[in-house]
Structure 1
């Protein structure tokens, strides 16, 4: 996923269908410099993790 799209999803109040390794996730924050995203699996906000943007996929 590109940086701009990840930031748009993170800022949007509308839930996007995004997965990381096949698991639906919520994007909390995008770090443009490192191209990393702070995410957590849906329903598991205690399981935050940082992942590369290219591991995120948007499904329409």
Structure 2
């Protein structure tokens, strides 16, 4: 968003609309995977959790 703002002058309304749209798109894209991850955790599906951890190179918080 900062790159876009640097190239073009966006008004406050346009910036707000762009932020809201971006937020909505991200939420839509992450909704199903997040639900599946929560279900896997509740079921104790460690195979899926380990696979995702490796795929996204996640580390345990200490």
- Both proteins in one fold, TM over 0.5: no
Q: Flag the structure with more relative contact order, 1 or 2, with Cα contacts below 8 A and sequence separation at least 6.
A: 1
| TM-score normalised according to structure 1 size | 0.27
| TM-score normalised according to structure 2 size | 0.27
Larger CA Rg, structure 1 vs 2:
2
Q: Which has the higher helix share?
A: 2
Q: Which has the higher strand share?
A: 1
